[in-house]
Amino acid sequence: MKILFMGTPEFAAKILESLYESENQIVGVVTAPDKPKGRGMVLVPSDVKKYAQEKGLPVYQPKTLKDGAFLTELKDLAPDVIIVVAYGKILPAYVLEYPKYGCINVHASVLPKYRGAAPIQRAIMDGEAETGVSIMKMDEGLDTGDVYLVKKVKIEENDNFESVHDKLIAAGTEGLCEALPKIESGTLKAERQAGETCYAEKIEKTDCIIDFSDTANNVHNKIRGLSPVPLAFTKTPDGKILKTVGASVTDKTAVGKCGEVVSLDGAIYVKCSDGVLAINTVVPEGKGKMSARDFINGRKIKVGDMLG
* Residue 199 to residues 110, 173, 222, Cα–Cα distance (Å): 12, 24, 17
Using one digit for the tens of pLDDT, what is the confidence trace for 120-133? 999 999 999 999 99
Both 250 and 142 in one domain: the answer is no
CATH number at residue 234: 3.10.25.10
Task: Look at residues 83, 80, 47 and name the one whose alpha carbon lies nearest to residue 177.
Answer: 83
Both 134 and 279 in one domain: the answer is no
Q: How many domains does the chain have?
A: 2
Both 280 and 213 in one domain: the answer is yes
Domain boundary among 165, 200, 235: 200
- Domain membership of residue 304 (yes or no) is no
Both 195 and 216 in one domain: the answer is no
pLDDT at residue 183 tops 90: yes
Domain boundary among 200, 217, 234: 200
Both 172 and 227 in one domain: the answer is no
- Domain membership of residue 145 (yes or no) is yes
CATH number at residue 151: 3.40.50.170
pLDDT at 300: 81
Give the pLDDT mean for 183-193. Answer: 96
- Domain membership of residue 231 (yes or no) is yes
Both 231 and 279 in one domain: the answer is yes
* Residue 4 to residues 83, 101, 134, 253, Cα–Cα distance (Å): 6, 12, 19, 56
The C-alpha atoms of residue 15 and residue 136 are separated, in whole angstroms, by 15
| Model confidence, pTM | 0.93
Of all residues in the chain, what percent carry a pLDDT higher than 70?
Answer: 100
Both 171 and 213 in one domain: the answer is no
| Band (39; pLDDT cuts 50, 70, 90) | confident
pLDDT at 41: 85
Average pLDDT score, the chain = 96
Helix (H) or strand (E) holding 148: strand 147-154
- Domain membership of residue 306 (yes or no) is no
pLDDT at residue 22 tops 90: no
Residue 10's identity, in one-letter code, is: E
Both 25 and 46 in one domain: the answer is yes
Helix and strand element counts for the chain (H, E): 8, 17
Domain boundary among 200, 230, 251: 200
The C-alpha atoms of residue 97 and residue 103 are separated, in whole angstroms, by 8
Both 89 and 187 in one domain: the answer is yes
| Band (37; pLDDT cuts 50, 70, 90) | confident
Other CB atoms closer than 10 Å to residue 21's CB: what's the count?
10
- Domain membership of residue 303 (yes or no) is no
Packing angle, helices 47-54 and 10-21, rounded to 10: 30
Packing angle, helices 161-185 and 10-21, rounded to 10: 40
Both 53 and 193 in one domain: the answer is yes
Using one digit for the tens of pLDDT, what is the confidence trace for 76-97? 999 999 999 999 888 999 999 9
- Domain membership of residue 308 (yes or no) is no
Using one digit for the tens of pLDDT, what is the confidence trace for 197-242? 999 999 999 999 999 999 999 999 999 999 999 999 999 999 999 9
Both 263 and 152 in one domain: the answer is no
Its domain, for residue 131, covers 2-200
Both 292 and 252 in one domain: the answer is yes
pLDDT at residue 187 tops 90: yes
